[in-house]
Amino acid sequence: MGANLSGDYSKYNIKLTDIRFATGLVNRFGQTHLTDIAVAGGLFAGFAIHFPSPFYLGVEGFLNFSDNEAKAEIFDDNPVNLEGLTFASFNVRNKRHAGLAVLPGIKINNKTLAYARAGYVNGALKVSGEGRALLATGVVTTFNNEHDLNGFQTGLGLNTTLSKNLSLRGEWVINIYQSFTDPVINRRGLVEGSLIFNHPTTSQFNLGLVYHFNDITA
């Protein structure tokens, strides 16, 4: 079990979508790559199996919190669009993520272990801001939506023994979440404008202190 302090980086590939009521067409335009860097931290616990060879296998559950909050403005870049959503200003906050991962590794020497990680991650993202339909109606609406997203985690790390029960580890972890659509403007009982998030991705460089009980020997 242990705790870690992280540098948290997020990247979001976002498009704006607009429905024209006159034609019923859905247009997608305006694209932004939204990023932010913040400080995060978390806890983890698991068990490890040490084989007679230099190979190692760990299983770990984890929970991390972050104040990562990216901000952006995105415009409709179609000059002939005179109705519907034309502009959105919003924040995306990566609140927390948790999951379960396997950590296969190999011993470099009697103190240092290199490992990879792969597993399931669940993340909470909050999207808030306002959308505007300026030219046609002057409509301005605010939105504040939370999304519970499933995803895949991968990464690489090094673990170095400090004492019989303590070790220090550093790792680079990437979380890739499912795509989702966030409604921005709702009129006439229909979703008129939305933000499309294409596989939002967060990554962390974690520096953690690990306390070891008795590991399992194969």
Domains in the chain, CATH or no CATH each: 2-213 (2.40.160)
Residue ranges of alpha helices (H) inside the chain are none
Average pLDDT per run of 10 along the chain, which is 218 residues long? 73 66 50 66 85 88 84 64 63 88 93 95 88 62 87 95 89 92 65 76 87 65
Q: What is the pLDDT of residue 23?
A: 47
Residue 57 has what pLDDT? 92
Distance CA 168, CA 174 (A): 20
pLDDT score recorded for residue 101: 96
Q: How far apart are CA 64 and CA 178, in angstroms?
A: 19
pLDDT at 186: 60
Look up tokens 């190979």; give the residue.
Answer: 55
First to last CA, the chain: 20
* Nearest to 15, CA basis, from 198, 206, 162: 198
Pair 172, 201: CB distance under 8 Å: no
Closest CA to 100 of 124, 120, 123, 118: 120
Q: What does the pLDDT read at residue 52? A: 81
Helix (H) or strand (E) holding 90: strand 87-107
